[in-house]
Amino acid sequence: RDMEAELRVALAREELELFYQPQMAIDGGVLGFEALVRWWHPERGLVSPAEFIPVAEDCDLILPLGEWVLRTACAEAAAWPEPVRVGVNLSAAQFAGRDMYASVAAALRYSGLPAERLELEITEAIVLKDSQEVVSTLRRIRALGVRVALDDFGTGYSSIAYLRSFPLDKIKIDRSFVRDLAHSDSAAAIVRAISTLGATLGLTLNAEGVETEAQLEQLRQLGCSEVQGFLFSALRPSRDVPMMLRELA
């Protein structure tokens, strides 16, 4: 495919860049930043990862691309002030095609980033594989001190049973529930249920896509401890992190 060839060139030419979104404690203060990849295409301008990540997943390009994201995020985060964490999204395909433990350990070693400051965001697609190999890889990664978050929770098919047995630190409630909070009792009920479940299992609860003060207040009442979204900041490159930390302090 066309985009596949272009993406190959983009990786070589370094047309990719990481942007960062602050992850806030619900009562204020920056906990970390989620890395979101962007592609500056020479003719088409900014291409969304929603467009090119699926293409990369369909060929083996997700492996070098995912490796680039992991290494770049760790290297950039190593320059941030001490306790601030970085969140890195991983595709299911990266677990199939790579020794993820070795990748993560190498990214930490090369960057000098302490393991406690790295958080991996995995998808329900990874959980649904229900593979002993993935579970054991994640256990070893967590044993390093790296945290693991389950992204986009509520949109896929993972059951509560998976949550109990899967090595996780955090659940990220998908932003579609946050969007519907104001006008949907069921969205609020679902967030409340996830919140209760998370507390029972000892998992931190993050809500994504927070755009209004009203949503923030509602999420506080529903028991979320961590939030992110356009309410706090636009996405910015790593060099703007010190500025974001000042603005959000």
In the complex, the residues that contact Mn ion under the rule CB under 5 A are 89, 121, 151
Q: Kindly tell me which of 12 and 50 has the beta carbon lying closer to ligand G.
A: 50
Among 6, 7, 20, 21, binds ligand G (CB under 6 A): 21
Residue numbers 148-167 binding Na ion by CB under 5 A: 152
Q: Which is nearer to ligand G, 73 or 108 (CB)?
A: 73
- Residue 50 engages ligand G in binding (rule: CB under 6 A): yes
C-beta of 6 vs 152, nearer to Na ion: 152
Vertex 163 angle, CA 160 and 168, to 5°: 160
Classify each residue of 221-239 as buried b or exposed e, where b means 16 or more C-beta atoms within 10 Å of its C-beta: ebebbbbbbeebbebeebe
Residue with Cβ nearer Mn ion (89 or 204): 89
- Look up tokens 């090595």; give the residue: 167
CB of 43 vs Mn ion, minimal distance in Å: 28
Closest to ligand G by CB, 24 or 90: 90
Q: Is 152 helix (H, G, I), strand (E, B) or coil?
A: strand
Under rule CB under 6 A, which residues in 81-110 are in contact with ligand G?
89-91
Q: Identify residues 182-241 at the interface with ligand G (CB under 6 A).
A: 208-211, 229-230
Residues 195, 222 contacting (CB under 8 angstroms): yes
Q: How far is the CB of 152 from Na ion (least distance, A)?
A: 4
Q: Which of 8, 17, 49, 156 binds ligand G (CB under 6 A)?
A: 49
Distance CA 91, CA 167 (A): 17
**d(Cα 88, Cα 120) in Å, to the nearest integer?**
5
Position 51, amino acid: E
What are the Cα distances from residue 37, in Å, to 50, 70, 150, 187? 10, 10, 18, 29
Task: With H, G, I as helix, E, B as strand and everything else as coil, classify residue 109.
Answer: helix
In the structure encoding, which two tokens stand for residue 229, read together? Answer: 């979204």
Q: Which stretch binds ligand G (CB under 6 A): 45-53, 139-147, 182-190, 194-202?
A: 45-53
Residues that bind ligand G (CB under 6 A): 21, 36-37, 48-50, 53, 69, 89-91, 151-152, 175, 208-211, 229-230
Residues that bind Na ion (CB under 5 A): 152, 208
